[in-house]
Amino acid sequence: MLVAGEFAKDQPPWKTNTQKEVPRTAESLLDCVRLLFQASNELMLVDQNFDAAEPRFRDPFAALVGARDGAKPWQRCELHVGHPLTKQGSLDKAVLGNRIHHMRYHLAALVPKGSTLRVCFWYRKSGGKKLHPRFILTEYGGVQVDYGLDEGDSGGDTTIVSLMDHDLWQVVRGDYGLGPGRAPAFETASDCICEIAGEG
């Protein structure tokens, strides 16, 4: 039997890395989840500020959704973003229409053929959680990405990626409508969801 002090916590096999600071590049983000993706058939990307019109968001998106073997389409492929709001805080349907247009125009060619991307625009429930943390999730686990799912604006820009424990992963999936027997933590509506068939 081992007792505290008889093993070095900073040495394998006792040392396990659950957080890592990485460059804010598409390839670095993919490297953090590549092993998880090998066993997964479902992908959920969560970033309230995702903007399909910006290459800094599109390049990591392309790397992540394109990471699977082309012969194995994603069984679930989702992008969860924030619903645009007016300066007064109400839902901005005009901007929503523009965002959906950009999603369809820019992302269809990045989604592999055989996969369908489902984009959900969420907004905060009265008195509920804020739509802030960014995640890369599968049906087996996920990571939280500190700054977001976009690339940095300089070569030295970094972000912290953290492996989620099982309980937190379950809570977050439930927040976006995938938890068994629990309501989502945010609001959406049928006109806030669009599906994009992959053309890549």
DSSP at 17: -
Q: Can you tell me the mean pLDDT for 28-51? A: 96
Distance between CA atoms of residues 198 and 200, nearest Å:
6
Strand-pair category, 158-163 with 76-82: unpaired
pLDDT of residue 137: 98
Position 16 pLDDT exceeds 90: no
pLDDT of residue 71: 73
Question: Which one, of 147, 168, 143, lies nearest residue 49 by Cα?
Answer: 147
pLDDT of residue 15: 67
For residue 14, what pLDDT band results from cuts at 50, 70 and 90?
Answer: low
Asked if 96 and 186 count as a contact pair (C-beta separation under 8 A), the reply is no
pLDDT of residue 144: 98
Distance between CA atoms of residues 86 and 108, nearest Å:
27
Position 6 pLDDT exceeds 70: no
Distance between CA atoms of residues 155 and 124, nearest Å:
34
pLDDT of residue 3: 54
Distance between CA atoms of residues 96 and 199, nearest Å:
23
User: Domains plus CATH for the chain?
Assistant: 20-197 (3.30.870)
E strand or H helix that includes residue 96: helix 93-107
C-alpha pair distances (Å), 5 with each of 2, 44, 142: 8, 41, 32
Q: Which tens digits make up the pLDDT trace of 68-121? A: 877 789 999 999 999 999 999 899 999 999 999 999 999 999 999 999 999 999
Distance between CA atoms of residues 161 and 146, nearest Å:
6
For residue 1, what pLDDT band results from cuts at 50, 70 and 90?
Answer: very low
Q: Which tens digits make up the pLDDT trace of 119-174? A: 999 999 988 998 889 999 999 999 999 999 999 998 899 999 999 999 999 999 99
Q: What type of residue sits at position 76?
A: R
pLDDT of residue 58: 98
Q: Can you tell me the mean pLDDT for 28-37? A: 96
Question: Is residue 84 reached through a cis peptide bond, with omega within 30 degrees of 0 on the bond before it?
Answer: no
Position 11 pLDDT exceeds 80: no
Q: How many CB atoms lie within 10 A of CB 128?
A: 13
